[in-house]
């Protein structure tokens, strides 16, 4: 069929374009077996907290045992394989962590994930985080892929421009955008069923499934082959069905056939006897004797003539089957013959009643025997087959949903394959690697794809479908389902980039929008943002800032200002701009010029670590050492961007100020480093005077209104702040009168 033939050609392009990946990410053995958790697992640990879960690393959902339900109706009920959105998310992250991309990013350290609240909010509502602010995906696969791309920024300009080209095409081509969005919506409609194939099984469910497959000691050596063979599965289905037909059909057939056969034999015998009479009469020469012979056989002729026709007997019995059950009809038939005793002469009425009663008792006993020794076992057999039929239809309904997923994924691959602009996003070398991996796919996976591409898995479940295909496909899915994870991840990548296009489009007419970043190659790092804003703040009220570091500007910025004035928000907005630039190629700014950074690091939200015995200052010292080592390890053409907020505030202010000054000066000496440092220590601001070519002072300001309230501007302007509104804040919060 078209879909099957096209799959082998289109999916390679699909995977390569959507992943925008490097050769290291497409090893042929990447989905062969479970491996140690990759970055998806680390993301899940944080993201799970925002969902109110314990974390994907705490308990494996895929291996977690479920409560067993011991009846068939529960097995086939709609809710049996239902998964909440939280459970679906957990399954996807766990599967991707075991079988997904092995790409690891060295650009970000784990501190950035928490400091910038990438996957879990730090406030009262943990569900408010950067991923939630960016997410416009249709599927859970897309949400996971979006998170992975966000957590793994890259510094390769060619790949970044490729990602930009992908998003730009989605924005420019309404047809591709709409078709992909529709296909992803279709996948969203079946993702719950698809993911339920990884739902933990139970002993009862396993035993229930054994009822529809070859099992038992007689087939121990063959059942594995039979259960994956179309012919074997079909025979296994139709054999019991034929036995049921035989058991159910034999009594009605006998009820109709035996009297009909008896009548036919009687008719045949009467014909033979009459022919004999004719020949016998013809052989008598004496006319008187011949007439006497004929007269003597007249009674026999009369009896023979009263035999009903075969057709009438057949119709009467057939009519009886239509109007009543065979056993009851048989009883009525025999009981009706009691009327013949009325025609008998010479028998007293009392004897007639005795004979009729005796015969009726015999008929009743025979009827009861037929029911208990034949119909009751037959009922058990029929009930068992109906149970198997319900299980098969249940499996077929699930596989129909799976087939919809596969067809939608192929549709996505076809849309991408037919679009030259998309086919050129990734270099030919990566395409060849992906092609080789798909050509080396397992035989069983290929068989599953071909089986799902049949009419059996279209429309609604039906007992008239090829049930062997259903059972074969289910067994194949059990064997190779983990091979589908790469398809899920590829679908997720498409969804993620389409989500970024939606995000860009959504903000196109707003005062605070997104821009495509201009990536430049320079000998020193550069960040030039015009109208940069923080996505955590609603675009209708957020205040934008202009930030210029590097080139003909200083590479390090010292920020001062009163509490709640916006220092931390401004710091984070710049780092988020750099992060989104190197993840998706866009930034929340009017314009952005950036040299890609090999390292993005933060020194924010540091707290004491009681479990390890570290005080706040010790934790700050360790983080500072990590930052210094990170910058020192870089090559001269590799750049670092670092944020620091209230550095060394965990010790005596005088000591903290001196340590902060020395640490900032040490970073400032690195020509391949850009830093932004927010502080309350006046000493650190003297770096602009001491090292004017390296440092510049900026501040945020506030204004006290006549009524005593504070107006915050949230804008960064050159200069040093001397404002302190700590007491005003305490008063406004009711701490002091």
Compute the average pLDDT of residues 591-596. Answer: 98
Look at residue 465 in the predicted model and tell me its pLDDT: 78
Domains of the chain are 2-199+417-465+474-491 (no CATH), 515-732 (3.40.50.300)
Q: What is the full DSSP assignment across 632-683?
A: HTS-TT--EEEEEESTTTTS-HHHHHHHHHHHHHHHHT-TTEEEEEE-S-HH
Whether the pLDDT of residue 367 is over 70: the answer is no
Shortest CA distance to 462 belongs to which of 383, 382, 390, 406?
390
Shortest CA distance to 705 belongs to which of 713, 715, 717, 693?
713
Q: Within its chain, how far is the Cα of 101 from the centroid?
A: 17
Whether the pLDDT of residue 694 is over 90: the answer is yes
Highest mean pLDDT among 76-90, 191-205, 580-594, 704-718: 580-594
Residue 707 tokens, joined? 């009524």
Residue 165 neighbours by CB distance under 10 Å: 17
Look at residue 548 in the predicted model and tell me its pLDDT: 97
Compute the average pLDDT of residues 472-482. Answer: 88
* Chain segment 98-114, per-residue pLDDT in tens: 888 777 778 998 789 99
Round to the nearest angstrom and report the end-to-end CA distance of the chain: 80
Residue bearing the bigger pLDDT, 699 or 29: 699
Compute the average pLDDT of residues 535-561. Answer: 93
Look at residue 200 in the predicted model and tell me its pLDDT: 80
Compute the average pLDDT of residues 71-89. Answer: 64
Range name among 200-214, 401-415, 467-481 with the lowest pLDDT average = 200-214
Compute the average pLDDT of residues 129-156. Answer: 95
Four-point Cα dihedral 26, 28, 33, 36, nearest 10: -40
* Chain segment 306-358, per-residue pLDDT in tens: 667 666 766 676 666 555 454 455 445 544 544 444 444 454 544 544 554 45
Plot region of 92 (φ>0 → left; ψ -120 to 50 → alpha; else → beta): alpha
Look at residue 312 in the predicted model and tell me its pLDDT: 72
Residue bearing the bigger pLDDT, 526 or 26: 526
Whether the pLDDT of residue 529 is over 70: the answer is yes
Residue 568 tokens, joined? 């931390």
Residue 282 tokens, joined? 């013809």
The answer to whether the CB of 42 falls within 8 A of the CB of 54 is no
Q: Which residues make Cβ contacts (< 8 Å) with residue 175, sequence separation at least 6?
A: none
Range name among 275-284, 479-488, 496-505 with the lowest pLDDT average = 275-284
Four-point Cα dihedral 724, 726, 731, 736, nearest 10: -120
Average pLDDT taken over every residue of the chain: 76
Look at residue 244 in the predicted model and tell me its pLDDT: 53
- Rounded Cα distance between 351 and 347, Å, is 6
Compute the average pLDDT of residues 517-534. Answer: 97
Q: DSSP label at 206?
A: H
Ramachandran angles phi, psi of 571, nearest 5°:
-55, -50
Look at residue 711 in the predicted model and tell me its pLDDT: 84
Look at residue 1 in the predicted model and tell me its pLDDT: 43
Shortest CA distance to 14 belongs to which of 191, 178, 166, 185?
166
Compute the average pLDDT of residues 412-418. Answer: 79
Look at residue 487 in the predicted model and tell me its pLDDT: 85
Range name among 297-311, 424-438, 461-475 with the lowest pLDDT average = 424-438
Q: Within its chain, how far is the Cα of 316 from the centroid?
A: 59
Whether the pLDDT of residue 116 is over 80: the answer is yes
C-alpha atoms less than 13 angstroms from C-alpha of 445 in its C-beta half-sphere: 18
Confidence band, pLDDT 50/70/90 cuts, at residue 269 = low
Plot region of 714 (φ>0 → left; ψ -120 to 50 → alpha; else → beta): left
Whether the pLDDT of residue 33 is over 90: the answer is no
Whether the pLDDT of residue 602 is over 70: the answer is yes
Look at residue 520 in the predicted model and tell me its pLDDT: 97
Confidence band, pLDDT 50/70/90 cuts, at residue 225 = low
- Rounded Cα distance between 532 and 16, Å, is 32
User: Which whole-number Å values give the CA distances from 287 to 280, 281, 300, 470, 623, in the listed order?
Assistant: 13, 9, 21, 80, 137
Residue bearing the bigger pLDDT, 35 or 477: 477
Q: DSSP label at 550?
A: E
* Chain segment 608-629, per-residue pLDDT in tens: 454 566 788 888 888 889 899 9
Residue 486 tokens, joined? 């790469």
pTM summary value = 0.76
Q: Which residues make Cβ contacts (< 8 Å) with residue 86, sequence separation at least 6?
A: 51, 52, 53
Whether the pLDDT of residue 14 is over 50: the answer is no
Confidence band, pLDDT 50/70/90 cuts, at residue 632 = very high
Look at residue 17 in the predicted model and tell me its pLDDT: 41
Look at residue 124 in the predicted model and tell me its pLDDT: 80
Edge-to-edge strand ranges of the sheet holding 673-678: 599-603, 640-645, 673-678, 556-560, 695-699, 717-718
* Chain segment 173-184, per-residue pLDDT in tens: 899 899 999 999
Look at residue 664 in the predicted model and tell me its pLDDT: 95
Q: What is the full DSSP assignment across 557-613?
A: EEEE--TTSSHHHHHHHHHHHHHHHHHHSEESSSEEEEPPPSEEEEE-S---BTTTT
């Amino acid at each position: 069929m078209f879909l099957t033939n096209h799959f082998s050609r289109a999916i390679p392009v699909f995977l390569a374009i959507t992943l925008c990946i490097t050769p290291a990410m497409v090893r042929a053995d990447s989905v062969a077996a479970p491996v140690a958790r990759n970055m998806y697992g680390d993301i899940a640990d944080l993201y799970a907290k925002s969902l109110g879960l314990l974390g994907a690393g705490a308990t494996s959902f895929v291996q977690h045992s479920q409560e067993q339900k011991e009846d068939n109706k529960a097995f086939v009920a709609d809710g049996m394989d239902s998964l909440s959105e939280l459970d679906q998310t957990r399954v996807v992250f766990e599967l991707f962590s075991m079988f997904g991309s092995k790409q690891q990013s060295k650009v970000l350290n784990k501190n950035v994930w928490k400091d910038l609240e990438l996957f879990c909010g730090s406030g009262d509502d943990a569900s408010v985080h950067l991923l939630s602010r960016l997410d416009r995906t249709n599927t859970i696969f897309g949400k996971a892929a979006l998170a992975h791309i966000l957590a793994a920024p890259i510094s390769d300009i060619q790949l970044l421009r490729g990602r930009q080209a992908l998003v730009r095409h989605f924005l420019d081509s309404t047809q591709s955008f709409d078709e992909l969005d529709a296909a992803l919506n279709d996948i969203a409609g079946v993702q719950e069923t698809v993911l339920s194939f990884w739902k933990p099984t139970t002993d009862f469910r396993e035993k229930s499934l054994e009822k529809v497959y070859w099992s038992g000691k007689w087939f121990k050596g063959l059942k594995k082959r039979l259960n994956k063979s179309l012919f074997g599965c079909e025979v296994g289905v139709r054999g019991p069905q034929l036995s049921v037909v035989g058991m159910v059909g034999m009594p009605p057939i006998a009820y109709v056939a035996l009297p009909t056969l008896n009548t036919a034999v009687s008719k045949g015998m009467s014909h033979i006897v009459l022919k004999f009479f004719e020949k016998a009469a013809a052989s008598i020469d004496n006319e008187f004797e011949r007439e006497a012979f004929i007269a003597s056989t007249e009674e026999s002729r009369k009896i023979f003539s009263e035999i009903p026709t075969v057709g009438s007997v057949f119709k009467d019995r057939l009519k009886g089957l239509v109007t009543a059950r065979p056993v009851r009809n048989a009883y009525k038939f025999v009981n009706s013959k009691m009327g013949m005793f009325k025609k008998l002469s010479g028998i007293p009425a009392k004897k007639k009643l005795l004979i009729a009663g005796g015969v009726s008792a015999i008929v009743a006993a025979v009827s009861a025997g037929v029911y208990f020794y034949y119909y009751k076992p037959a009922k058990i057999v029929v009930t068992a087959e109906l149970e198997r039929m319900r299980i098969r239809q249940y499996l077929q309904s699930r596989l129909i949903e799976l087939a919809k997923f596969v067809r939608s994924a192929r549709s996505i691959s076809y849309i991408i394959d037919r679009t030259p602009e998309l086919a050129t996003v990734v270099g030919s070398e990566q395409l060849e690697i992906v092609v080789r991996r798909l050509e080396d796919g397992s035989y069983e996976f290929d068989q599953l794809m071909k089986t799902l591409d049949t009419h059996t898995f279209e429309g609604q479940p039906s007992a008239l479908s090829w049930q062997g295909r259903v059972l074969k496909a289910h067994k194949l899915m059990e064997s190779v389902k983990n091979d589908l994870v790469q398809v899920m991840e590829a679908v997720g990548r498409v969804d993620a980039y389409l989500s970024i296009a939606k995000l860009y489009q959504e903000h196109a007419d707003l005062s605070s929008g997104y821009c495509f970043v201009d990536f430049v190659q320079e000998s020193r790092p550069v960040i030039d943002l015009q109208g940069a804003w923080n996505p955590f703040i609603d675009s209708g009220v957020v205040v934008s800032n202009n930030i210029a570091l590097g080139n003909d500007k200083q590479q390090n910025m010292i920020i001062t200002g009163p509490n709640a004035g916006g220092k931390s928000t401004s710091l984070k907005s710049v780092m988020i701009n750099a992060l989104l630039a190197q993840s998706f190629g866009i930034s929340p700014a009017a314009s952005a010029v950036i040299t890609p950074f090999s390292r993005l690091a933060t020194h924010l939200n540091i707290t004491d670590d009681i479990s390890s015995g570290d005080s706040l200052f010790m934790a700050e010292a360790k983080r500072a050492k990590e930052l210094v080592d990170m910058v020192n390890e870089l090559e001269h053409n590799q750049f670092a961007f670092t944020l620091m907020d209230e550095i060394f505030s965990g010790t005596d202010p005088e000591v903290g100020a001196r340590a902060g000054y020395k640490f900032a000066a040490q970073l400032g000496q690195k020509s391949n480093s850009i830093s932004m440092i927010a502080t309350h220590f006046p000493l650190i601001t003297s770096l602009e005077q001491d090292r004017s070519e390296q440092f510049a002072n900026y501040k945020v300001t506030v204004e006290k209104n006549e009524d005593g309230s504070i107006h915050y501007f949230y804008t960064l302007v050159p200069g040093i702040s001397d404002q302190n509104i700590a007491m005003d804040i305490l008063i406004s919060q009711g701490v002091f009168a």
